[in-house]
């Protein structure tokens, strides 16, 4: 079994200065007081037009984002490619869902697809469906309520937007991931994405749906989606994640009096995540797998499935993925063993990606074990370099 602990490989593209900045950043975001203060102060500073760019840009933004524009991410993409790590450029500006921003986001997603088509180190594009429509319409449609005439027109525009994005990806042979978000929107997104897969995945999986395996019903949904794909003769594209909205989902279920869609324990989520991956690898002829996780055990399980099924490490039907700035030890050690690894690189104007950055900081505080893991590996590498220098 491969080791994910080789810090020399993990941090090969980081200078000593980079490592020290990372150590400081991870130390800070592992503190509850720091994250909750930042979460209050930053939006307030934005609101009163207090300049924050000078502090955010060289620190947390630089660590977790590729840049403010698509073009400013090219250096990061190139640097990762030196270690055979691929990139996905993810326009992460939080949308206000006005018609103007929806058009702006749609154009930017198309731009990422056209850009990916030109660069072999950018094999995927990605988008969040909720950025392309007013969320109340999405929610209403998902819950089966009747839309009024204006809402019907807006919903029609939404499906057309998704179709033109998928069509652009298909024409340019760029794989396209469609992110999953809140449970209350997902039903209608699943229907639309299934239609898109049927339309564009006849030869290969260009369109990928996302399954949040913290949901009780997703393993069953995976098998159902697979049966439909076989019946209608197309390839299934599946991006696996555990799911990012656990606390909010539980609260929403409680407040609105419906059973929580989320597993009761972490073990159940882990179990379904791993069973899902196993299922797709056992059906590799008809399913392409994208494994989005920072969980070492799930990544190792997947590498084991390669050996068991005699699949080449660089088989392009299977991808590992981590977020930019997180779990470098997993990404770089896997890439070093020739597995396909792709980093999700968010970009966008600082003001607009602030909610994403706050979520990253919060996630790193709440997944304490993981932040401590990152910190301890950074320290190991700093010491390894120091000892090497002293022993010369």
Ligand X SMILES: Cc1cc2nc3c(=O)[nH]c(=O)nc-3n(C[C@H](O)[C@H](O)[C@H](O)COP(=O)(O)OP(=O)(O)OC[C@H]3O[C@@H](n4cnc5c(N)ncnc54)[C@H](O)[C@@H]3O)c2cc1C
**Residues found near ligand X in the complex (CB under 6 A):** 179-180, 210, 212, 214, 241-246, 262-263, 265-266, 269, 292-295, 321-323, 344, 367, 370
Q: For residues 19 and 367, which CB has a smaller minimum distance to ligand X in the complex?
A: 367
At closest approach, how far in Å is the CB of 344 from ligand X? Answer: 4
Give the neighbor-by-neighbor strand order of the sheet with 86-91: 86-91, 341-347, 318-323, 287-292, 236-241, 207-212, 175-178, 124-127
At closest approach, how far in Å is the CB of 177 from ligand X? Answer: 7
Q: For residues 185 and 200, which CB has a smaller minimum distance to ligand X in the complex?
A: 185
Handedness of CA 49, 55, 57, 62 (dihedral sign): negative
Q: For residues 154 and 166, which CB has a smaller minimum distance to ligand X in the complex?
A: 166
3-class state of residue 241 by DSSP: strand
- Residue 58 is given by DSSP the state I
At closest approach, how far in Å is the CB of 215 from ligand X? Answer: 9
| Residue with the CB atom nearest ligand X in the bound state | 292
Residue 90 backbone dihedrals phi, psi, to 5 degrees: -115, 105
CA dist., res. 188 & res. 129, Å (int): 10
Which has the closest alpha carbon to 9: 337, 345, 321? 337
At closest approach, how far in Å is the CB of 149 from ligand X? Answer: 32
Q: For residues 246 and 277, which CB has a smaller minimum distance to ligand X in the complex?
A: 246
Q: For residues 69 and 260, which CB has a smaller minimum distance to ligand X in the complex?
A: 260
Q: For residues 228 and 367, which CB has a smaller minimum distance to ligand X in the complex?
A: 367
Tokens 């997104």 found at:
189
CA dist., res. 159 & res. 138, Å (int): 11
At closest approach, how far in Å is the CB of 112 from ligand X? Answer: 15
Tokens of 85: 């790590």
Tokens of 49: 């037009």
At closest approach, how far in Å is the CB of 383 from ligand X? Answer: 26
CA dist., res. 303 & res. 300, Å (int): 5
Beta strands in the chain, from DSSP E residues, in sequence order: 86-91, 124-127, 175-178, 207-212, 236-241, 287-292, 318-323, 341-347
Neighbours of 379 (CB within 10 A): 14
At closest approach, how far in Å is the CB of 181 from ligand X? Answer: 6
At closest approach, how far in Å is the CB of 132 from ligand X? Answer: 15
CA dist., res. 362 & res. 35, Å (int): 6
Which has the closest alpha carbon to 6: 331, 324, 323, 299? 331
At closest approach, how far in Å is the CB of 63 from ligand X? Answer: 15
Q: For residues 131 and 323, which CB has a smaller minimum distance to ligand X in the complex?
A: 323
Q: For residues 9 and 277, which CB has a smaller minimum distance to ligand X in the complex?
A: 277
CA dist., res. 390 & res. 363, Å (int): 37
Q: For residues 154 and 339, which CB has a smaller minimum distance to ligand X in the complex?
A: 339
Tokens 């209050």 found at:
40
Q: For residues 29 and 154, which CB has a smaller minimum distance to ligand X in the complex?
A: 29
Report the Cα 365 to chain-centroid distance in Å: 18
- Which residues are bridge partners to 236 per DSSP? 287
At closest approach, how far in Å is the CB of 88 from ligand X? Answer: 8
Q: What separation in angstroms does the CA of 118 have from each of 80, 111, 114, 125, 240?
A: 17, 11, 7, 12, 26
At closest approach, how far in Å is the CB of 256 from ligand X? Answer: 19
Q: For residues 154 and 329, which CB has a smaller minimum distance to ligand X in the complex?
A: 329
Note whether 175 and 206 are within 8 A (CB). yes
């Amino acid at each position: 079994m491969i080791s994910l602990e080789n810090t020399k490989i993990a941090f090969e593209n980081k200078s000593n200065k980079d490592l020290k900045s990372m150590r400081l950043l991870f130390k800070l975001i592992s503190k509850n007081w720091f994250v909750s203060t930042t979460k209050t102060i930053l939006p307030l500073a934005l609101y009163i037009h207090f300049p924050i760019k000078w502090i955010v840009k060289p620190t947390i933004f630089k660590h977790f984002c590729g840049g403010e524009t698509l073009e400013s991410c090219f250096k990061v993409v190139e640097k990762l490619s030196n270690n055979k790590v691929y990139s996905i450029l993810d326009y992460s500006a939080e949308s206000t869902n006005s018609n103007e921003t929806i058009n702006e986001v749609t154009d930017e997603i198309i731009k990422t697809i056209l850009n990916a088509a030109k660069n072999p180190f950018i094999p995927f594009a990605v988008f969040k469906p909720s950025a392309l429509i007013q969320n109340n319409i999405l929610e209403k449609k998902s819950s089966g309520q009747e839309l009024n005439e204006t809402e019907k027109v807006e919903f029609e525009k939404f499906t057309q937007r998704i179709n033109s994005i998928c069509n652009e990806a298909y024409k340019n042979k760029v794989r396209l991931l469609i992110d999953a978000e809140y449970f209350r929107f997902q039903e209608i997104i699943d229907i639309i994405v299934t239609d898109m897969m049927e339309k564009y995945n006849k030869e290969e999986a260009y369109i990928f749906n996302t399954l949040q395996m913290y949901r009780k019903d997703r393993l069953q949904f995976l098998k159902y989606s697979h049966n439909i794909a076989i019946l209608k003769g197309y390839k299934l594209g599946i991006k696996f994640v555990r799911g990012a909205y656990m606390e909010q989902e539980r609260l929403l279920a409680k407040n609105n009096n419906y059973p929580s869609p989320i597993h009761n324990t972490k073990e159940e989520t882990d179990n379904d995540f791993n069973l899902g991956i196993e299922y797709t690898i056992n059906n590799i002829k008809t399913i392409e797998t994208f494994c989005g996780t920072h969980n070492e055990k799930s990544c190792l399980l997947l590498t084991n499935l390669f050996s068991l099924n005699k699949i080449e490490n660089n088989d392009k039907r299977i991808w590992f993925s981590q977020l930019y700035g997180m779990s470098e030890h997993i990404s770089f050690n896997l890439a070093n063993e020739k597995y396909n690894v792709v980093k999700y690189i968010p970009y966008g104007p600082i003001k607009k990606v602030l909610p994403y950055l706050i979520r990253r900081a919060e996630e790193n505080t709440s997944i304490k074990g993981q932040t401590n893991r990152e910190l301890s590996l950074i320290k190991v590498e700093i010491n390894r370099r120091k000892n090497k220098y002293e022993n010369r």
